[in-house]
Structure 1
Amino acid sequence: MLIAFNKPFNVLCQFTDRSQPPRRTLAEFGLPPDVYPAGRLDFDSEGLLLLTDDGALAHRLTDPRHKQPKTYWVQVEGEPDNAQLEALRRGVQLKDGPTRPASIERIDPPSLWPRDPPVRYRKSVPDAWLAISLTEGRNRQVRRMTAAVGLPTLRLVRVSIGSHALGGLQPGQWRQVE
Structure 2
Amino acid sequence: MSRLILFNKPYGVICQFTPDNKHPTLKDYLKMPGVYAAGRLDTDSEGLLILTDDGALQHRISHPRHKQPKTYLVQVEGAPNDAALRPLRERMDLGDFVTQPAIANIIDEPQGLWPRNPPIRERKNIPDTWLEIVIIEGKNRQIRRMTAKAGLPTLRLIRYSVGEWTIQGLKPGEWREIEVDNTPEIDEPLQRRGEGRGKKKFS
2:99 counterpart residue number: 99
1:49 counterpart residue number: 49
1:4 counterpart residue number: 6
2:148 counterpart residue number: 147
5+ residue gaps in structure 1? none
Percent of residue pairs identical:
59
Matched, 1:123 2:124: yes
5+ residue gaps in structure 2? 180-203
Opposite residue 116 of structure 2, the aligned amino acid is R
Matches within 5 A, 1:11-22: 11-18=13-20, 21-22=21-22
Task: Please identify runs of 4+ aligned residues in structure 1 that moved more than 2 A.
Answer: 81-84
Structure 1 residue 34: deviation in Å?
1.0
1:27 counterpart residue number: 27
**Number of corresponding residues:** 176
TM-score, normalising length: structure 2: 0.84
Contact 2:82–2:106 under 8 Å retained in 1 = no
Secondary structure of 1:98's counterpart equals coil
Structure 1 residue 97: deviation in Å?
2.5
Contact 2:144–2:153 under 8 Å retained in 1 = yes
- Structure 2 Cα separation of the partners of residues 92 and 83 of structure 1: 15
- Structure 2 Cα separation of the partners of residues 150 and 47 of structure 1: 24
1:84 counterpart residue number: 84
2:187 counterpart residue number: none
Opposite residue 7 of structure 1, the aligned amino acid is K
Opposite residue 178 of structure 2, the aligned amino acid is V
Structure 1 residue 95: deviation in Å?
1.2
